[in-house]
Every structure is written in C-alpha cells, then in structure tokens.
Amino acid sequence: MAKPVIAIVGRPNVGKSTIFNRIIGDRLAIVEDKPGVTRDRLYGTAEWNGKPFSIIDTGGIEIDGEDEIMRSVKAQAELAIAEADVIIFMVDAKAGITHADEEVAQMLYRSNKPVVLAVNKVDNDNRQEDIYEFYSLGFGEPIAISGAHGLGIGDLLEAATTLMPEPEEDEYEDDVIKVALIGRPNVGKSSLVNALLGEERVIVSNIAGTTRDAIDTPFEVDGQKYVLIDTAGMRKRGKVYESTEKYSVMRAMKAIERADVALIVINGEEGIIEQDKHIAGYAHEAGKASIFVVNKWDAVEKDDKTMQHFTTSIRDQFLFMTYAPVVFLSAKTKLRLHKLLPVINHVSEQHAMRIPTHLLNDIVSDAVAMNPAPTDKGKRLRINYVTQVATKPPTIVCFVNDPELMHFSYERYLENKIRAAFDFEGTPVRIYSRKKSDQD
C-alpha cells in the first residue's frame, strides 16, 4: 500500500530540514544556519493520529548565486507539485515575504495541490503578530511554528494529514511477488528487466538516466507471478540535472515502498561507491527483503577468489545488511541469470514468514540462559514473553520489565539467535521492547 506523500518546500534557510527532523524524529538532515546546506532531498516516513505518510525534505541544491537560488527553489517546487499529495510551504517570520516566496506561491497556487502554509521561527508570543502578513500569499490561515523549539508541529501535522488522500490499495493479488530494481544510473537495471523477461520491453541505453519513471511489468515463471518495478537511476547528491531527473529518486522511493523485494543493482565493473550505500539504506529502512545483484560480471577480470573478495567487500561496506544474499550475473550475456529468481522466491518467503509464539519463546529463553542480559545500575533486563506481531518485515515484540534496559548490543544478540534458528535470509528483522502490563 503506497503511503500519501507530504513535501516541505520553500526557499533556502527557512528551516525545512529542522522541521523535517522534528517530524520523522531523527536527525537525518544536516542543519546549519547557512543557505543551501542541505545538498540532497531526504525522505522519511512518519505517522500522525494513526495516519502514516512519506515526507520529503526538498533541500537546496548546489548554488552559486541569486539566479541559481531561484532555479533551485523553482525545481523543488516543481518536484513537490509533481510528486506530493500535500505540500507544506514554509516561510520565515523574521524575514517576512520575499520575492522567492511570492514566486513559489504562484507556482503552488496554479498547481491545485493542497497547500499548508507554515510560518517558521515564531519562537515567542511577540512574534505571533508577524504571521498576519502571510495571509496575502493566498493559502488561508498561516500556521505559526518554531523548528528550534518544536512549537506548533502538532497543529501543522494535523492540518497536513487532514488534506491527505486515503492510502492507495495495491492493485496486485497477494501471491504476486513485487520486485523493485533500484540502483544508481547505468548499473544495468533496464537490461536486467529485459533479460528476465526475455524480450526488449524497456528502453536500454548506456546514457546514464535513460529510464525516467517507474515501469511495472508483470510476468510469470513456473506458476509464480511477479511484477518487476524498474525505477529511474538514483543520482548523486549536490548536482543539478534536467528537470525530469529531479523526480527520479522520489519515484524510486515509491517503488521501494510498493515492493516486496528490492534488487540493489551494483555495477561489478566499477565496484561499490558511497551512493550504493544510500540506495541500499532506503530499502533497509523501508523493511523490504533485499538482494545485492552484482551486474556486468561478464566484464570483470576474474580468478577463483574474485567473487569471494567482492562478497567480503559488500559485507564490509554494508554492515547494516549482512542478511541480504549476493547474486553475481550479467544481464547482457545472461551469465548466472538463472540463479536470481530462486533467490527472489526464497527471500520473499522469509520476508512473509511467521514463527509460532511457543517456538520463538523457546529460542529466546535458551538465548537468555546462555547469555543473560548485563546489569545496568544494579537492574537486569527480564524478558517475560516474546511474540511476532507482523510480517513483511518480521516484527517481534519482547515484553520486558523495563524497555530502557534493552541495550542495542543485546537486541542484536537476540536477533542473531533468532536468525540462527529460523533463517530469515534476505529480510530485516525488527525487534521492539515493551513494558509488560497486566493486560499482556
């Protein structure tokens, strides 16, 4: 089910990244009091009053002067208009209405998209009167907020989520495995789609970024139905590309959200670069089953240790995804292509697997007996009961005497023991601690 999308848009240095961090509850965006510090659009997921949504921080792109700033602001507004269901238009109470604000307002007004006007930096009651001039922008009542002090965020989210459409229901049956191909430009995603389908269904070119949008392609092999979701290549941060390129990462994010399995395609000739880690991180954070697909393996000079060395490199570079299997292949020559679908089937099963509660409790009890949780200020974690509450990804709740005593390292230890017992290859496993109540 695709979540509605909220985009935060506005000129540089109005506080978009600060508000984004407040909403998602994590300091993902770099915040500094200097225009244009956010070099990359960032994406997160959040929930307000039971309504989940995706949120985009449309940070400033690399800028060299006034004209570039305006181009950047317009590009961000275009992204929000094209991709978002609701737009938070952020302005600055201290600066008042600027020419750039008016330009963005005109674009948003013509878009017919729902817009919530947020006036940031209303840090005290004395500044409350500063919001009234913003009525002239034409978006109804401005909402006074302070990113620095966390004021008004609830009112802002209430206004934005009220305007969201209902989440889109998935158009495919439950037994269909939805596979998103993700990766930076020119790693061979479209060629891999064609190789799997055995026909030229997607335009293939060696010009980076040929695929502009996500394309769904259903097919069936040995009675198993699949949908391949091919996405535009994800770009490096800090560069300005033609306007159609600006939408590619958001569409890739939507594809990941809709998928069961993410194929993280890596160029075997070039090896691993930093951008590959960002892309893999999106799939991991979204809780998707994942496979590293090292493409163009036919073009790599090899000996009997090359594959082993490359796998070791992946494990070292992607420490947060040691669960994801690695498949080496060539979409161009179909070398080792036959190995991919069985791995997709396997990780999809693991992603949807549910463990009986009594078995899960047996494994955790044994793990605790072998290695009791360390004490903290004289208190020791006690796990009373464990149950799996969700699949896709497998999600486990531990009812404990005090959630604060569940250290990250001990949580990782329990995850490793659970994986050793039940496999869960290819899928993240999420473990949460909750205080045992009388109802539990």
The annotated binding site for GTP is made up of: 10-17, 57-61, 120-123, 183-190, 230-234, 295-298
- Within 320-426, strands assigned E span 326-328, 375-376, 379-380, 383-390, 395-400
| CA gap 51, 47 in Å, rounded | 5
Instruction: For 30-42, give the DSSP string.
Output: ---SSTT---S-E
32: its two tokens: 């500094």
CB atoms within 10 A of CB 302: 13
Sheet with 430-435, strands from edge to edge, namely 383-390, 395-400, 430-435
Bridge partners, 230 (sequence order): 181, 215
| CA gap 399, 397 in Å, rounded | 6
- Within 275-371, strands assigned E span 289-295, 326-328
Bridge partners, 119 (sequence order): 91, 144
Rounded CA Rg of the chain? 24
Annotated binding site: 10-17, 57-61, 120-123, 183-190, 230-234, 295-298
Residue 52 phi/psi, 5-degree rounding, is: -80, 150
Residues of 193-204 as b/e, b for ≥16 C-beta within 10 angstroms? bbbbeeeebbeb
Q: Which of 253, 271, 272, 273 shows the shortest CA–CA distance to 262?
A: 253
**Cα–chain center distance at 54:** 9
Greatest CA separation for the chain: 72
| CA gap 86, 55 in Å, rounded | 10
Helix (H, G, I), strand (E, B) or coil at 119: strand
| CA gap 163, 145 in Å, rounded | 19
Helix (H, G, I), strand (E, B) or coil at 404: helix
Question: Parallel, antiparallel, or unpaired for β 42-48 and 51-57?
Answer: antiparallel
CB atoms within 10 A of CB 101: 22
Q: Number of helices (H) and strands (E), helices first, in the chain?
A: 11, 17
Bridge partners, 387 (sequence order): 397
